[in-house]
Chain A
Amino acid sequence: MTQPIRRRVLVAILGFGSLATAAILLAPLAGSTSISLRKAFDTSIPFSDNVDAQIFFVARMPRTLAGALVGAALAAAGVVFQGLLRNPLATPFTLGVSAGAALGAMLAITFGWAVEWGGVSAVPIASFAGSLGAVAIVYALARARQRGLSTNVLLLAGVTLNAFFSALILFVQYLADFAETYRMLRWLIGDLDIASYRPLLGSLPLVIVAFLVFAWIARPLNLLSFGPVEAETRGVDVTRVQRAAFFSASLATGAAVSIAGPIGFVGIIVPHLVRLIVGSDHRVVLPASVLFGAGFLVTCDVVSRTAMAPVEIPVGVITALIGGPFFLWLLVKKA
């Protein structure tokens, strides 16, 4: 029993890992400008004078890594939310995390908060704080009625909070002036041009913690898919696993959204694509989704940067445009 699963995990990691590695290595080579790699890696030119090196290391690398981190986090969080809620339509944004994050970001933009903390500016900080607030509210509501964690209440509270926060966001936008409204809209579409490694360093530990929890809950999530009662009889501490799943997936989502805004489609399309290929065992689906999510978003960002250069197409538009039809094609082919 253990041998085949280990092999399947290994095959998935090797397969999706090589895709992700290829995407991450090739992505910085493409962009709106053509650069000379030889010059970019030429250490005899001081870095501050080397335009090609700066385009490679300051503009493209952080962006590629951000795409990988955000794609991996959203895809894996999608898998966990779908498993936790036992609902294939769940996304990382279903339970209000992204709406809380968006409200935080909108407030930071409207009031022009100009603070900085460890090289991370106000908007990502406010966005992460907002997602924490939303998580706390949803959790408190889901706990209020019974001792365990009711996934039904979780879902209802999350969806309602989403709607409520959306209303607040509209209100904040209404108060903002016109240029700010435009910047808010742009934030809501999602953007990976971070031009610095600092936001990544801030989010990376959070995502790593979330991924460690994912590794621990992969097996219990499998049992949970038979229903909480069934899982309980097989020795799963259901409440504990649900709580771990909820907080870890929310943490990964909050960290990802604080970097790039709520980039849509990754959290639902990648998990389903991966399941169509490797089956539904979370021990395989989770690592495969992490790797495929990374490669997918990095690739989408390359398209967003180059398709209409020098003008950019928002990466959220690309994820939907590529993801949607591809998903449908795979669905039909599999059927």
Chain B
Amino acid sequence: MRILRLAVVVALAWAFAAVSPGAVQPQGHPQRIISLIPAVTEMLFAIGAGPQVVGVGSYDNFPAEVQKLPRVGALLDPDIERIISLKPDLVVVYATQSDLQKQLERATIPTFRYEHAGLADVTVTIRHLGNRIGRSPEATRVTQQIERALDDIRQRTANRRHPRTLLVFGREALALRGIYASGGVGFLQDMLVVAGGDNVFADVKRQSVQATAELVLARQPEVILELRGTSLTDEMRRKEISVWQSLAAVPAVKSERIAFIADQRTVVPGPRVAEGTELLARALHPEAFK
């Protein structure tokens, strides 16, 4: 009799599990969020969901609060065991992490898919994230701030001549090798446009272009902006700028309009993207910010 009752319970549970929708719909708003992507972690904190974040990715370092949070891997090496052990009710994953998504689905943990795209997508993502975690008003406020700040930069740079700009985001130390520059799509390109620059690789419809010496000479940039996520000393900065001297026929080299912007805000498409854009704009049009 007891066995029969047990069997009925098991069968009912089975049936219930079978008819319930595949993804578990969270009751209420997520209270334990894990974000594997620095840009989204910043967004969560910006819309006031910082206290709900219980785990972050290996490369997260802003805001300072993330230093105290458990690390759960990153794009290529998400630590699924740690993620599950933190009992999250929402995990932000990158669009290409399909294995992780499947595993989380099996563990019935809801996910939020994210992918880097253009500048406009930053505010769109913040709004979606706000809806998902029940912080729409905060999300709206943050996106309005970003849009206002971007509009302000646009206005300051709109009527100035947009110099032909090479936007470098990676290069071998002290050599003109392995130069990676922004192509004509993606948030770096969009930031450059708002900041009042005309990308020399705007016609290449890719996020990144390997800029060979020939391409740099042929495209004749008037300004070279180099973005770095990490700081560098004045001496290194001087040395790195002098490396470009071997391409003397490039207008930016001749007029010494080469700037290093060593600031995370320029390379993370998160809520500080307007600040990053302003850094670019100040480098391109210092007179517009007097």
Contacts and interface: CB of A to CB of B under 8 A. Distances in A.
A55 B214 contact: yes
A53 B217 CA distance: 10
Contact of B246 (A31, A109, A195): A195
Nearest to B210: A312
B39 to A, nearest CB: 13
Interface in A175-193: 177-179, 181-183, 186-187, 191, 193
Interface string B64-85: 0000000000111100000000
Contacts of A109: 172
B212 A51 contact: no
B247 A33 contact: no
B220 interface: yes
Given A54-B247, A116-B174, A195-B246, A59 B254 contact: no
A55 B213 CA distance: 8
Interface in A217-237: none
Given A51-B220, A55-B214, A59-B214, A195 B77 contact: no
Given A54-B248, A58-B246, A114-B173, A187 B59 contact: no
A214 B77 CA distance: 46
B170 A183 contact: yes
B206 interface: yes
B206 to A, nearest CB: 7
Chain B interface SS verdict (over half) = loop
Given A48-B248, A48-B249, A178-B59, A59 B217 contact: yes
A174 interface: yes
Interface string B163-187: 0000001101111111010000000
B213 A195 contact: yes
A121 B176 CA distance: 10
A21 interface: no
A122 B75 contact: no
Interface in B184-243: 201, 204, 206, 209-210, 212-215, 217-218, 220, 229-230, 236, 239
Contacts of A59: 212-214, 217
B246 A191 contact: no
A182 B172 CA distance: 12
A50 interface: yes
Given A51-B220, A195-B213, A179 B170 contact: yes
Most chain B CB inside 10 Å of its own CB: which residue of A31, A54, A123: A54
Contacts of B239: 114, 116
A112 B232 CA distance: 11
A282 interface: no
Nearest to B74: A178
A129 to B, nearest CB: 16
B215 A48 contact: no
Interface in B33-80: 59, 74-77
A158 B120 CA distance: 53
A181 to B, nearest CB: 8
A310 interface: yes
B178 A191 contact: yes
Contact of A177 (B59, B174, B177, B206): B59
Contact of A310 (B76, B173, B215, B230): B215
Given A183-B178, A312-B210, 6 more contacts: A32-B212, A58-B213, A58-B246, A114-B173, A115-B174, A195-B246
8 residue pairs, one from A and one from B, having the closest CB atoms: A195-B213, A59-B214, A121-B175, A33-B218, A59-B213, A48-B248, A54-B249, A114-B173
26 contacts: A32-B212, A32-B214, A32-B218, A33-B215, A48-B249, A49-B249, A50-B249, A51-B218, A54-B247, A54-B249, A55-B214, A58-B246, A59-B212, A59-B214, A59-B217, A108-B173, A114-B174, A114-B239, A116-B239, A178-B75, A179-B169, A182-B170, A193-B214, A195-B213, A196-B175, A311-B210
Interface of B: 59, 74-77, 169-170, 172-178, 180, 201, 204, 206, 209-210, 212-215, 217-218, 220, 229-230, 236, 239, 246-249, 254
